[in-house]
């Protein structure tokens, strides 16, 4: 997928936000599943990073940049530091360690964003998103 930037319109933050919204739309189910996994780990441990997630190896780093955005917007999580990535394609770069600010907001997000039930429709949606890449 190619994202075309219009460098005349808006600043860098606006361009980044627009690109992340596009990635969100094009990977909605896959991202929803990963976000649920992230929240469950946060609620169990109190902290989480990308290292804690079971991510498909083909997942690009740009896609992961939008993972935390809804929880930051809710003021439900905050950065707790940096850890080295354990993903081979990340070459041990630093990634954020997140901690909970408000667990009730995370529970509310889970209720407001339920996962589709397992079955053929969910598998077809995930397959379609993979083919679109």
What pLDDT does residue 128 have?
45
pLDDT tens-digit series, residues 79-124: 999 999 887 766 777 888 999 999 999 999 999 989 887 765 555 5
pLDDT tens-digit series, residues 18-28: 655 655 555 57
The residues pairing with 77 across neighbouring beta strands, listed in sequence order, are: 100
The conformation of residue 117, written as its DSSP 8-state character, comes to P
Domain residue ranges in the chain? 12-131
Residue 93 near residue 105, CB atoms below 8 Å: no
The residues pairing with 99 across neighbouring beta strands, listed in sequence order, are: 47, 78
Lowest mean pLDDT among 3-7, 66-70, 85-89: 3-7
* Consecutive H or E run containing 78: strand 77-84
Q: Residue 67: phi, psi to the nearest 5?
A: -55, -45
The pTM (predicted TM-score) of the whole model is: 0.70
Query: 75, 41, 56: which is closest to 129 by C-alpha?
Result: 56
What pLDDT does residue 104 have?
97
pLDDT(6) > 70 = no
What pLDDT does residue 129 have?
47
pLDDT tens-digit series, residues 22-61: 555 555 777 888 899 999 999 999 999 988 888 776 666 6
């Amino acid at each position: 997928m190619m994202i075309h930037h219009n460098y005349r319109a808006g600043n860098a933050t606006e361009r980044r936000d627009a690109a992340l919204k596009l990635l969100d739309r094009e990977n909605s189910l896959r991202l929803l599943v990963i976000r649920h996994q992230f929240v469950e780990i946060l609620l169990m441990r109190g902290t989480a990073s990308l290292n804690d997630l079971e991510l498909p190896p083909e997942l690009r780093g740009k896609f992961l940049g939008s993972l935390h955005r809804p929880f930051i917007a809710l003021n439900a999580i905050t950065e707790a530091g940096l850890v080295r990535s354990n993903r081979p394609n990340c070459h041990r770069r630093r990634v954020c360690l997140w901690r909970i600010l408000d667990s009730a907001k995370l529970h509310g997000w889970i209720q407001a964003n339920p996962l589709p039930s397992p079955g053929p429709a969910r598998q077809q949606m995930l397959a379609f998103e993979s083919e679109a890449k």
